Amino acid sequence: MISVFILTLNEEHNIEECLSSVEFSDDVIVLDSFSKDNTVGKAEALGAKVYQRKFDNYAAQRNHGLSLNFKYDWILMIDADERVSDELREEITEIIHLKGNSNSLYRFRRKDFFMNKWIKHSSGYPTWFGRLMKKGEVEVRREINEEYYTNGEVGFLKGHLIHYPFNKGIEYWFERHNKYSTMEAKRLLGESVCLADLKNFFHKDPMIRRKIFKSLAYKVPCRPILTFIFLYIFKLGILDGLAGFHYSLMRSIYEYQIDLKMKELKDSKLK
């Protein structure tokens, strides 16, 4: 069997469908950041065990959650705006029953939906996320856009999480990414890449490759404009129609926010 771990903050709009997609588990833990809506009540009514912790950053929150008293050795971690597809559920069920499995972490991809369609190209698909892990064998690092590390082997699944980042509206997306951009700017200001790190640009783990790519990308001039061109033209976001155009533009605005906030932080240190 498998345990499920979900982070929440004011997710009453999402929590029921999220929990419905993990009904295959009889051990679901919700770590709530003191929601002001009915997230906790709905989660408990649907059989989840709810704990609460004040949010400080994503890595700390997830590490705390992973240390809770889960019933099973395998933990599936999802967000409230994500759903487990039937394909992924079946694949996970097979994986956790494998004997002699040396993997302690599995990565899989998401299908992001916007304007009622899968924005396959403009979302930057495929991006791999570490979400299935053995209890006590994975550490989460980086306060925002987290990274998952393990001393064991890493596997990859074919199935997808279904992601609805706009379920709470476009206003909420901008509100959330305004906070993300602040956290990212602070983090990026303290990060650097040395020549020795560049060998990881071809690492077999996509998380490591993405980390190096991001570190280099943030040093490129006109990066927000290039982000739009990359997503809409080179990643073929144009094939996603109007949704692809809007999403590529929104992503470039997010990157612009990061750049402006990094500049503000640098200027404040010089005063």
Q: 3-class secondary structure for 191-246? A: CCCCHHHHHHHHCCCHHHHHHHHHHHHCCCCCHHHHHHHHHHHHCCHHHHHHHHHH
**Mind giving me the DSSP string for 127-170?**
-EEEEEEETTS-EEESSSS-EEE-SSEEEEEEEEEEE-TTTT-H
Q: Which two tokens stand for residue 71?
A: 């019933």
Segment 197-240, tens digit of pLDDT: 555 555 667 666 666 666 666 677 788 999 999 999 999 999 99
For residue 1, name the pLDDT band (cuts at 50, 70, 90): confident
Does the pLDDT at position 191 exceed 90? no
Segment 28-69, tens digit of pLDDT: 999 999 999 999 999 999 999 999 999 999 999 999 999 999
Separation between Cα atoms, residue 21 and residue 181, nearest integer Å = 30
What separation in angstroms does the CA of 264 have from each of 225, 254, 259, 260, 271?
A: 19, 15, 9, 6, 11
DSSP assignment letter at 35: -
Q: Which two tokens stand for residue 149?
A: 């590390």
Q: In this structure, are residues 29 and 70 in contact, taking their beta carbons and an 8 Å threshold?
A: yes
Closest CA to 28 of 56, 7, 10, 12: 7
Q: Which two tokens stand for residue 271?
A: 């005063």
For residue 195, name the pLDDT band (cuts at 50, 70, 90): very low
For the chain, what are the domain ranges? Answer: 170-270
Q: In this structure, are residues 11 and 35 in contact, taking their beta carbons and an 8 Å threshold?
A: yes
Q: Which two tokens stand for residue 108?
A: 């899989």
For residue 268, name the pLDDT band (cuts at 50, 70, 90): confident
pLDDT value for 211: 65
